[in-house]
Amino acid sequence: MMTSLTLTRPQKAAAILVAMGKPSASRLLKFFKQEELKALIEGARLLRTIPQADLERIVAEFEAEFTEGAGLLDSADRMDTILNESLSPEEMSAIMGDKKLEPAPEGPPPIWPDIEKLEPARLGTFLAGEHPQTAAMVLSKLASQTAANVLLTMEKPIRSQIIKRMVTMANIPDAATRIVENQLRVSVLSQKSARDTSVGQERVASVLNEMAKPELDELMQDLEEAGTPDLAGVRSRLFAFDDLPRLTQKARVLLFDGLSTELVTLALRDASAALTEAVLSAIGARSRRMIESELGQGSEGIALADIMAARKTIAVATIRLSRQGAFELPSTQNAAEAA
């Protein structure tokens, strides 16, 4: 009988693979290099029954480095079965030094650029269902801005757990990275490619956002009555300057914090009192006084086209922040309530 204190690292790895069972272990073996497989086989040949408590400690040690696992008692015989059913005799011989295999072809290209193109909310929902260590590993592979946008879509307790692990995360083994990449291909990217209508929704929304509010509302009603598919996705991308009062106060403060007073002043020319107050209430006292002073001088000599262009710029900025996960557009919120 062995204890965890007497096991080598290859033997610990072999014990975890055995505990996982043949289906799962077989899928993982293809990610190991030849020298790694050889070390696993040699370690497994000396492996005997491991006490449950020691096996749990091995799994806990593995979880601390990557992710959680579970285990059952077993021996080297099951390791041999897993290997024999996963590898051909020629591969087994090559691994053990009897002959050499041809160099393995390069694996699929990195998936991280495609992952970064996903909507933050969608990726956040997927990662929230994974172990925090796995989520931390995925976010550590993404650009800082992308990772931040995804974290903002998560609940605070989950977000804290993930950030905690990101802080303490060391270098990630290549084998672990390949396992996670493969899972993301199957669970996220394959579903996206199977039915990805976001491009069409974005295209339609871009056209509709150029329309005036009355025409836009009328057209959206016509599309709804006609049973247009994926209309909720289009609606979530629609926003006009007149919709600003429907944003939450927090969203408006975030939006106008990044806009110049000159742009805001120009956009508020000839705006209604309710719309003006919704904007000014989200701006600092000093900037508000400056804008009110400018607006008090009237709009004579200012081209309507310039006013509309300024309003369009603010609407586009609002949509961009929403797509980055900073907040939801009111149309998205309404659609969720209706559902």
Contacts of 229 (CB under 8 A, 6+ apart): none
Asked if 138 and 184 touch (Cβ cutoff 8 Å), the reply is yes
For the beta carbon of residue 315, count every other beta carbon within 10 angstroms.
19
| pTM of the shown model | 0.41
| Structure-token pair, residue 255 | 């939006």
Q: How far apart are the first and last CA of the chain?
A: 59
Digit-by-digit pLDDT tens for the chain (339 residues) are 455 556 777 777 777 666 666 666 666 666 666 777 677 677 666 666 666 666 666 666 665 555 433 333 344 455 556 556 555 666 556 555 554 444 444 445 577 888 887 888 888 888 888 888 888 888 888 888 888 888 888 888 888 889 888 888 777 777 777 777 777 777 666 554 444 555 666 677 777 777 767 777 788 788 788 877 767 777 777 788 988 999 999 999 999 998 999 999 999 999 999 999 999 999 999 999 999 999 999 888 899 999 999 998 999 899 888 878 888 887 544 443 443
Asked if 149 and 120 touch (Cβ cutoff 8 Å), the reply is yes
